Amino acid sequence: MDKYNLQSNEAIIIKSEKVYHGNKTGELVLTNLNLIHIVTKGIFKTTYTARRFPIKQIKLFNGKAQVISGKNGNIDIYFVNGQESFRFWNDETLFSEKKAEKEAKQWTDNINRLLAGETDFDTADNTAIPGAEFIAETLKDTIDTFKGVFSKTAVEERITKKCTACGASISGTKGRIVCCQYCNSGQQL
């Protein structure tokens, strides 16, 4: 935790790696007090430089933080003294843009929750296979389409005829066995 230098009343809410701020990539950390962008330097990556942006300095309008998530995993944060932009990135090729956009939205939502005074944050672990959720949703939609096309049952024909045992009227679906309600004899319609 040396690289974070958290205050005694400061707690981490969410963090992401490979986040660009300007032309520097590093780790982005959201705490209850600050937004911190940490860049690692040196051969052994043991030297850290951190830029801190106080959460209280983010502009609010109608109770909503002025944080906008855009395409390609970008978020723009409007502070009292200016604007900062961050871009989420990963080096995977399959669905990397969708993952970055999802991560940016997650950050936007968490910053809004924090500034609204909520205590329930989206801290989903990003250990799933990249793009798995997108693929699962696509497969579900495809399966639902097939179900809709192929599960159409043949129109069942309803018929009425006389019971062969007692002569009472019986009705039901053609081809099914029905029990007569008067004499309890089973018959196929």
Residue 136 lies in a domain: no
Q: What region, left, alpha or beta, does residue 18 occupy, with left being phi > 0 and alpha being psi -120 to 50 degrees?
A: left
Q: Could you tell me if 89 and 177 lie in one domain?
A: no
Under 8 Å between Cβ of 183 and 168: yes
Q: Could you tell me if 100 and 32 lie in one domain?
A: yes
Residue 64 lies in a domain: yes
Q: Could you tell me if 64 and 102 lie in one domain?
A: yes
**Containing domain of residue 166, as a range?**
158-188
For residue 131, name the pLDDT band (cuts at 50, 70, 90).
low
Residue 20 lies in a domain: yes
Q: Could you tell me if 127 and 162 lie in one domain?
A: no
Residue 98 lies in a domain: yes
- Summarize the confidence of residues 63-84 as an average pLDDT: 91
Residue 166 lies in a domain: yes
Residue 46 lies in a domain: yes
Q: Could you tell me if 81 and 164 lie in one domain?
A: no
Under 8 Å between Cβ of 19 and 87: yes
Residues 131 and 98: their CA atoms lie apart, in Å, by: 8
Residue 147 lies in a domain: no
For residue 48, name the pLDDT band (cuts at 50, 70, 90).
confident
- Summarize the confidence of residues 19-36 as an average pLDDT: 92
Residues 159 and 136: their CA atoms lie apart, in Å, by: 44
**Sheet containing 12-21, strands listed edge to edge, beginning at the edge strand earlier in sequence:** 47-54, 34-41, 24-31, 12-21, 82-88, 74-79, 67-69
pLDDT recorded at residue 177: 82
| Number of domains making up the chain | 2
